[in-house]
Amino acid sequence: MPIIGNFPSGSGGSGGGLALAAVSGIQTLTAAGKVYVKWTDPDDLVVAGSPLASWGGTLLVRKAGSAPVSRRDGTVVLDSKTRNAYQNSYFCDSGLTDGVEYFYKFFPYTTSSAYTDSADDEFSATPNPVAVGDVSGITLAAAGNGKLSIKWTDPAATVVTDGVTRATWASTIVVVKEGSYAASPTDPDAAYTHTSTTRNGHSSTPLVATGLKNGTTYYVSLFPMSTDGKANTNAANRKTGVANRMTIANVPSQSGSLTFQENTPQSPSWSNYNTAQLTLGGVTTGTNATSYNATFTPKDDYMWPDGTTTAKTVSWSIGKAAGSLTLSKSSVTLNTSKLSDTVTVTRPGDGAISATSSNTSVATVSVSGDIVTINHVNQTTGSATITIKVAAGSNYTAPANKTVEVTAQFMPAKGNKLNTYTWEQIKQVSDAGLAASYWNVGDTKTIKLNGKAGNYTFSNLSVDVFILGFNHNSAKEGTNRIHFQIGKISGKDVALCDSKYNNEQTSAGYFHMNTSRTNSGGWNNSAMRKTLLGNSNSPTSPLANSLMAGLPADLRAVMKSVTKYTDNTGGGSNTASYVTATTDYLFLLSEFEVFGTRNYANSAEQNYQLQYDYYKSGNAKVAYNHSANSTAVWWWLRSPYYSSYYSFCNVSSNGNLNINTASWSAGVRPGFSV
C-alpha cells in the first residue's frame, strides 16, 4: 500500500520513529519589540488508513545571531500542542530588542517524540517600531499678527495588518520652520512647535502658530507619532503657508437709511462690520439730517485688503424728514374795507418761505418770517392765485406747494352810463347789492345777437337790453340781481320776430309757444321755454340753435338764474296748485309782471309775482318788429290762459293785454338776470 504523508529529512533530536513534514505557510510581522508569526502544522503520516506517525506538537525556538541547529540550540518560545492553533491568528514573541535580527525554527514532533528538523522550518525577523499613517487635509491660512492657522486630519488610530495592531497613534507634533522643512520633530531651528495629543483635535478648530513674522513663508511639518515613539516623516505631511494678519474683505458701510427725528439722536447700522475685527470710532451718533464720519480701525490680527492697518473713514448720514406745509387760510378777499390780508405759514424746520402771485396787476405778495402778506394793486378788481413754497431746510425736505385764492372786489367808479361798463363789472356791482346806486330802471346796454334761434338766423344784430328792476321780487326770485329785458333799437321798443310772424306754425323752430294749439304743460314744458329760449341747458353750455346760444359770451358768463312762478300745468283750469316754480335764465314776462293786474292768467300767479318797476313806472308796452321797427307787433307772455287749453297771454300791438293760440309765431321779448 502506498504511504500518504511527508517524510522529512534530518534529525530532530531524541525520540524514535518516523518524523513529520515541516510546517507550512509561515507568515511573519514585526512591531516594536515584537515578532508575530502564524503557520500551518504538518499532517499525520497515514498509510492505507493507518497512522504511522501522529502530530504531537510544535516547538518554536528563537536564537539571536544564527538559526538554531537543534531544538535545544536557543530559547523555546512556544510549545504548541493544539494543532493549527496559529494557522489563522498570530503568535506574538515580545520583549525583544528593536533592530536585532532574530532567527527562528519550528520543530514539529510526533506523539512518539520524533522531531522534525528541516530548513523549511526556519525564518528570521527583526523587530522595529512601525510608523502610523499620514495626516490628510492640511490647510494653512494667515491667522493674525504673526500667526498662521493650521488644520489637518490625523491618521487612523492604529496600524493593523492581518488583524494585528502593529502601531497606535499617540500624538502629532507640528513643527513650523523658516527656510526649509524640519528634519525631525525636534528640529532645533523650529520657529514654533506644538504637540497635539487629541486625535483630530484640529480638523475643524485650527491650531494657531504664534510668534511668527508677517509676510514670511513658513514650512510646516506634521509628524504623526506612535505610542512606541515612531515618527512618520513622510513628505506627504508637509505644506507651506504665509503668516500674516487676516484680511478684512470689505470696508464697512451704512446699512439701511435713517430719517431725521426731532430731538432724537440716532446711530446707523453697519454692513461688513465685525466687532471682533474692527474698532469703531469717530462720530457714531447724530441728530441732525447731514453727513457724519465714522472710523474703522483693524484690530491687531487684521488688515485691509491693501495691507494697511490704519483707520478708514466711512461717511454715514441721516436723511431729511418729509416736510409739511399748513396755511392758516386758503382764500382771501380784498376790498375797500380790507386792502390787505395775511396768511400764517406753519412748517417744521427752517426751510425758507417764498410766495408768488399769478396776477400782480391784482395782488402782490411779501413774506416776513412765517407771515405772508397779500396786498391789493390800485384797488383793481380781479382774482389771483398766491403760490406759497417752503424750500428744503436743514432737516426737512421741501413739501408740496400750497395756494391761496385771492378775490379782489373793488367796485368800478360810479357816474357812468350803463353801456360803458363791462358785463363782469355789472355783475360785480350786482353781487355787492349796489346796482340801484349806480344805474336806473330803463338804462340800456347794447348787445349783439348772432346765430340761429330756431329757424331764424341773427347776424350781428345790435339791440339794447334795458333794466326792468333791481332785486325784483328777491324773496322768491333771488337776491343781488338786476333784471333786464330785450330789447330796444335806437331807443325804440322792439320784439324779436321770425319770418313767420303772426302765422300759425306747427313745425318746430318758430317763435311760437308750442307746435300745436295747446297750453298743456304750462310755461315749464313749453317749446318756447325749453327749446327756443334754451332753458334746457345753462348759459355756459347753451343749447344749440337757441336764443341763449346767440347771446354774447361775456353776457352768458355772468347770467344768473331766477326762480319764476307760473301756471306750469295749463289746460284751461284756474287751479292754484298749478302755479309752481321754474329755474330760468331766459324767460318771458308774465301778465302780472307787465300789467300789475290779473285778467287772463291763473289767479294764483299774482300771489308769487310782482310788477316790474319799468312797467309800473308807466313805460310803453308797445313793441315793434326788430327787422321793421315801424311795424308794431304783439308779443308773448308766459302765462297760460286760465280759461282755455290752447292759449297763452300776450301784449297786443296796441300795448293791451290779450290772448292768442299757442302755435302762432309772435314777437319775443325775453328777460334775464345778472
Question: What is the DSSP track for 385-429?
Answer: EEEEEE---SSBPPPPPEEEEEEE--PPPSSS-GGGS-HHHHHHH
**Type of residue at 8:** P
- Residue 6 reports pLDDT greater than 90: no
* Cross-strand partners of 667: 635
What's the CA dihedral at 595, 599, 601, 605 to 10 degrees? 70
Structure confidence at residue 409 (pLDDT): 83
Mean pLDDT of 330-347: 94
Structure confidence at residue 11 (pLDDT): 42
Structure confidence at residue 411 (pLDDT): 86
Do 49 and 24 meet the contact criterion of CB atoms below 8 Å apart?
no
**Type of residue at 454:** G
Per-residue pLDDT reduced to its tens digit, 160-178: 999 999 999 999 999 999 9
- Residue 14 reports pLDDT greater than 70: no
Mean pLDDT of 35-61: 96
Residue ranges per domain, the chain? Answer: 3-125, 136-244, 247-317, 326-408, 420-673
Residue 499 and residue 503: Cα distance in Å, rounded?
9
Structure confidence at residue 466 (pLDDT): 99
C-alpha cell at 305: 485688503
Do 68 and 103 meet the contact criterion of CB atoms below 8 Å apart?
yes
DSSP per residue, 417-486: -GGGS-HHHHHHHHHTT-HHHH--TT-EEEEEEEEEETTEEEEEEEEEEEEEEESTTHHHH-SS-EEEEE
Short-list 34, 32, 36, CA closest to 128: 32
Mean pLDDT of 256-267: 96
Mean pLDDT of 464-473: 98
Residue 403 and residue 541: Cα distance in Å, rounded?
29
pLDDT grade for 410, boundaries at 50, 70 and 90 = confident
- Residue 574 reports pLDDT greater than 90: yes
Average pLDDT, the chain: 95
Residue 469 and residue 440: Cα distance in Å, rounded?
8
Residue 644 and residue 520: Cα distance in Å, rounded?
10
Mean pLDDT of 81-89: 97
Do 312 and 296 meet the contact criterion of CB atoms below 8 Å apart?
yes
pLDDT grade for 7, boundaries at 50, 70 and 90 = very low
Residue 180 phi/psi, 5° resolution? -165, 165
C-alpha cell at 477: 326770485
Mean pLDDT of 531-559: 98
* Cross-strand partners of 224: 172
Q: Do domains 3-125 and 326-408 have the same CATH topology?
A: yes
Q: How many CB atoms lie within 10 A of CB 12?
A: 22
Domain 326-408 adopts which CATH fold?
Immunoglobulin-like (2.60.40)
Per-residue pLDDT reduced to its tens digit, 478-507: 999 999 999 999 999 999 999 999 999 999
Global model pTM greater than 0.75: no
Establish whether the linkage from the previous residue to 487 is cis, with ω within 30° of 0. Answer: yes
- Residue 274 reports pLDDT greater than 60: yes
Residue 294 and residue 313: Cα distance in Å, rounded?
6
Residue 487 phi/psi, 5° resolution? -175, -170
Per-residue pLDDT reduced to its tens digit, 362-398: 999 999 999 999 999 998 888 999 999 999 999 999 9
Structure confidence at residue 355 (pLDDT): 96
How far, in Å, are 35, 289, 299, 472 from residue 282 at the CA level? 73, 17, 16, 83
Residue 500 and residue 348: Cα distance in Å, rounded?
74
Short-list 269, 315, 278, CA closest to 297: 278
- Classify residue 132 by its DSSP letter: -
pLDDT grade for 1, boundaries at 50, 70 and 90 = very low
3-class secondary structure, 199 = coil
Domain 136-244 adopts which CATH fold?
Immunoglobulin-like (2.60.40)
What percent of the chain has a predicted confidence (pLDDT) above 70?
A: 98
Short-list 577, 604, 585, 580, CA closest to 534: 585
Residue 635 phi/psi, 5° resolution? -135, 150
Mean pLDDT of 207-211: 98
pLDDT grade for 148, boundaries at 50, 70 and 90 = very high
pLDDT grade for 613, boundaries at 50, 70 and 90 = very high
Residue 671 phi/psi, 5° resolution? -110, 160
**Type of residue at 410:** F
Q: How many CB atoms lie within 10 A of CB 531?
A: 20
The CATH code of the domain at 3-125 is 2.60.40.10
Q: How many CB atoms lie within 10 A of CB 268?
A: 22
Structure confidence at residue 15 (pLDDT): 54
Show Cβ contacts of residue 69 under 8 Å, excluding neighbours closer than 6 positions: none
Residue 125 and residue 98: Cα distance in Å, rounded?
10
To which residue does cell 527562528 refer? 104
Strands (E), 288-401: 291-298, 302-303, 312-317, 326-327, 331-334, 340-346, 353-357, 363-368, 371-376, 382-390
